């Protein structure tokens, strides 16, 4: 509860008392943090000679958290390189930082890294007006479908070889659905996904079940913990943010929109870190603040 209060507080501060340099400095800080974390993870991978079956997480510890943060803040890195005046230096900085980020993502050994980076690059080329956005949407759907098919095929192999995946996405989804049916309007309460998970059984009742405190999908967790009212409110907010970002044509806003799109994709595939949530609320504030108040 403390986390969401802090994040929403950040949103209100930035949206009600906006200063254009606040979001710019925040984006710059996240961009530098992205590159530093990428280099850190890359160094971990090199020093350990690729060992570390679960991947490397740099300062995040959890590789999935690092992968999510790198993906959603990469647009801020590219926005920073685009501010460079000299074209030659701009291109060099773009490719050097992109290589660092790619190596950092590979160090996490997560599937979303392989999926997210191509989508990010296509989004960048849309901003640069080198690719039609409709082509990018089609290719993104194809990439995501292929990744999901690959993931579930591997999951089925694991289940055949070693029994049921107790904390697998299929089981999380089914138990989430059953819990949602029990309390569809108000939900189980914010941050109470663990209670909802324990309240239902699927596929069989277990006396000593695994502990799951979060869903692996943002929308899934919103539906379970806040019910239909919370889910609809969240979707409405996302719609307002997207509309607000699309109504502006400046470079900063375009990269904020790309960051939001990547966040919405990644947050449906895995648990997100607080650092990743900060990006969402920063972009939300950027999209909704009163332009007339900005000096």
Rounded to whole angstroms, how far apart are CA atoms 161 and 251? 50
* Contact between residue 177 and residue 205 where contact means Cβ atoms under 8 Å apart: no
Rounded to whole angstroms, how far apart are CA atoms 224 and 234? 13
Q: Where are the domains of the chain?
A: 7-293
Nearest-10 Cα torsion for 258, 250, 6, 12: -140
Rounded to whole angstroms, how far apart are CA atoms 285 and 15? 5
Structure tokens at 158: 């694991």
Model pTM? 0.86
* Contact between residue 266 and residue 116 where contact means Cβ atoms under 8 Å apart: yes
Structure tokens at 128: 């640069």
Q: Along the 295 residues of the chain, how does pLDDT read in single tens digits?
A: 677 778 777 777 777 766 667 778 888 999 999 999 999 998 888 888 655 557 888 888 788 889 999 999 999 999 999 998 888 999 999 999 999 999 999 888 887 777 888 888 888 888 888 777 777 777 777 777 776 676 666 555 555 445 556 666 777 888 888 888 888 898 888 777 878 878 887 777 776 766 677 777 888 888 888 899 989 999 998 998 898 888 888 888 899 999 999 999 888 888 888 889 899 988 988 887 644 344 4
* Contact between residue 278 and residue 4 where contact means Cβ atoms under 8 Å apart: no
Q: Do you know the residue count of the chain?
A: 295
Structure tokens at 113: 């890294």
* List of residues 6+ apart from 249 with CB closer than 8 A: none
């Amino acid at each position: 509860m403390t986390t969401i209060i802090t994040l929403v507080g950040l949103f209100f501060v930035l949206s009600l008392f906006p200063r254009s340099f606040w979001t710019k400095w925040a984006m710059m800080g996240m961009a530098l943090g992205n590159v530093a974390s990428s280099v850190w993870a890359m160094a971990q991978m090199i020093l350990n000679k690729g060992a570390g079956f679960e991947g490397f997480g740099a300062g995040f510890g959890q590789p999935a958290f690092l992968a999510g943060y790198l993906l959603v803040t990469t647009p801020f890195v590219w926005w920073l390189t685009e501010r460079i005046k000299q074209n030659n230096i701009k291109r060099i900085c773009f490719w050097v930082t992109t290589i660092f980020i790619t190596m950092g993502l590979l160090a996490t050994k997560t599937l979303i890294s392989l999926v997210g980076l191509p989508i990010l690059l296509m989004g960048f080329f849309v901003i640069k007006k080198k690719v039609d956005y409709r082509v990018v949407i089609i290719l993104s759907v194809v990439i995501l479908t292929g990744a999901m098919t690959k993931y579930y095929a591997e999951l089925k192999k694991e289940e055949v070889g070693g029994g049921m995946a107790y904390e697998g996405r299929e089981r999380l989804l089914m138990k989430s659905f059953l819990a949602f049916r029990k309390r569809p309007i108000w939900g189980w309460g914010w941050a109470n996904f663990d209670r909802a998970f324990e309240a239902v059984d699927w596929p069989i009742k277990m006396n000593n079940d695994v502990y799951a405190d979060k869903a692996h999908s943002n929308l899934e967790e919103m539906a379970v913990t806040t019910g239909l009212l919370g889910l609809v409110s969240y979707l409405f907010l996302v719609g307002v943010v997207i509309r607000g970002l699309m109504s502006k044509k400046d470079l900063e806003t375009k990269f904020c929109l790309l960051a939001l799109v990547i966040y919405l994709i990644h947050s449906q595939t895995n648990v997100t870190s607080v650092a990743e949530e900060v990006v969402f609320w920063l972009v939300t504030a950027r999209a909704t603040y009163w332009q007339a108040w900005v000096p």
